[in-house]
Amino acid sequence: MAKRRLNKQQQFRIKKVQEERAARAARKEKVVQAQAEAGELGPEQKGLVIAHYGQQLDVEALEGDHNGSVVRCFVRANIDSLVTGDTVIWRPGKNETGVIVARCDRQNLLQRPDNFGALKPVAANIDHIILVIAPEPEPHDNLIDRYLVASEITDIPAVILLNKTDLITDRNREHIDALLGRYEALGYGVFRTSAVESGETPSPEVEALVKNQTSVFVGQSGVGKSSIIQTLMPDEVLRVAAVSESTGKGVHTTTTAKLFHLPMGGDLIDSPGIREFGLWHMTPQEIEYGFREIREEIGHCKFRNCRHMGDPGCAIDAAADEGRISPERLKSFHRILQDMAEQQARGLKVN
């Protein structure tokens, strides 16, 4: 995407909007601050961030008088960035507002690139990424592996969910079974469903997958993520759809992530941006690490600075020859390394 320079007037306008926003937040913070000083804040208690709007967050009370209700909270200035899925300590104020005073430890953090390629935290404490694929549209080359690399380096487990099983025919069955078999052999959970055939209710496979877990759905456009989510929470889906429509389906959407409670137990964190998770720039070290079976071979190449691109004495090539790395994954590994190197070279030229 070509970077566009903002003209002076646009810069001025953006600056003004930012200043106004900051002033507004500061005023509100003052009000809560005053309440705090007057001893008007309630006791410290645990809460869950379910949505994030700039300086304010929606926090669901996890205990106490407010248990289960949602309170619009401000954040004490000394807390680093909070995201949907974070657990926090907050204190109730007046008029259904509150103050977040601390963030609890995170199990993990899902990030995605902003418009300038810098990683931005989006959601926390995720039990698994559900990577949705389908016979149609056929998985883009390397896309599955890129998502899996992202899952490995952020330490959020990934499972693969094949949707649209109703579209499996004698022509594509073998190919799909082989593909899923490769990931199963690597230890990834593989599940199958058809959102169309399951109709209004989730399929038993999907229900078992999301039950009592905090899930995010990712995968390329058109594989059926919205359709599956609709089976999980028929009442909420209009909101999700409205969000993704208003922002389009581009990679650089900024819509905030929201946490939804699922009727069967468990939570879903969703935003158009999250669905594109994993498509950022990765270093060669991250890519090596992100391929489980390749990780094992690191450090065994003949040359310390081996680029693993057919270099002599490469331990990864040797492992592939011995059948410990599949030809498909090796090819994909090389392709991702190459893409990233090219992307970097292009980036350097532009800057």
How many angstroms from the chain centroid is the CA of residue 264? 22
194: contact with ligand GDP by CB under 6 A? yes
Out of 110, 306, 320, 325, the only residue in the binding site for Zn ion (CB under 5 A) is: 306
Least separation, in Å, of the C-beta of 155 and Zn ion? 24
Least separation, in Å, of the C-beta of 126 and ligand GDP? 18
301: contact with Zn ion by CB under 5 A? yes
Residue whose beta carbon is closest to ligand GDP:
224
228: contact with Zn ion by CB under 5 A? no
Least separation, in Å, of the C-beta of 229 and ligand GDP? 8
Q: What angle do CA 109, 111, 117 make, to 5 degrees?
A: 155
Out of 34, 167, 341, 345, the only residue in the binding site for ligand GDP (CB under 6 A) is: 167
Out of 164, 258, 308, 329, the only residue in the binding site for ligand GDP (CB under 6 A) is: 164
> Binding mask 44-83 vs Zn ion (x if CB under 5 A, - otherwise)?
----------------------------------------
314 binds, options ligand GDP, Zn ion, none, Cβ within 5 to 8 A by partner type: Zn ion
Count of residues in the chain: 351
> Binding mask 218-237 vs ligand GDP (x if CB under 6 A, - otherwise)?
---xxxxxxx----------
Instruction: Give the CA dihedral 77, 79, 81, 84, nearest 10 degrees.
Output: -110
Which residue's CB is nearer to Zn ion, number 205 or number 286? 286
Which residue's CB is nearer to ligand GDP, number 33 or number 226? 226
196: contact with ligand GDP by CB under 6 A? yes
- Tell which residue, 246, 120, 249, 134, has the closest CA to residue 193: 134
How many residues touch Zn ion under the rule CB under 5 A: the total is 5
Least separation, in Å, of the C-beta of 308 and Zn ion? 4
Stretch of residues binding ligand GDP (CB under 6 A), selected from 189-197, 199-207, 252-260, 336-344: 189-197
Which residue's CB is nearer to Zn ion, number 95 or number 305? 305
**Three-state secondary structure string covering the chain:** CCCCCCCHHHHHHHHHHHHHHHHHHHHHHHHHHHHHHCCCCCCCEEEEEEEEECCEEEEEECCCCCCCCEEEEEECCCCCCCCECCEEEEEECCCCEEEEEEECCCCCEEEEECCCCCEEEEEECCCEEEEEECCCCCCCCCHHHHHHHHHHHHCCCEEEEECCHHHCCCCCHHHHHHHHHHHHHCCCEEEECCHHHHCCCCCHHHHHHHCCCEEEEECCCCCCHHHHHHHHCCCCHHHHHHHHHHHCCCCCCCCCCEEEECCCCCEEEECHHHHCCCCCCCCHHHHHHHCHHHHCCCCCCCCCCCCCCCCCCCHHHHHHHCCCCCHHHHHHHHHHHHHHHHHHHHHHHHC
- Tell which residue, 175, 211, 207, 205, has the closest CA to residue 191: 205
272: contact with ligand GDP by CB under 6 A? no
Interface residues for Zn ion in 313-332 (CB under 5 A)?
A: 314, 316
Which residue's CB is nearer to Zn ion, number 158 or number 316? 316
Out of 66, 91, 146, 308, the only residue in the binding site for Zn ion (CB under 5 A) is: 308
Which residue's CB is nearer to ligand GDP, number 250 or number 347? 250
Least separation, in Å, of the C-beta of 184 and ligand GDP? 21
Residue 99: strand pairing partners: 74, 91
Least separation, in Å, of the C-beta of 311 and Zn ion? 6
Least separation, in Å, of the C-beta of 254 and ligand GDP? 18
301 binds, options ligand GDP, Zn ion, none, Cβ within 5 to 8 A by partner type: Zn ion
Interacting residue ranges for ligand GDP, rule: CB under 6 A = 163-164, 166-167, 194-196, 221-227
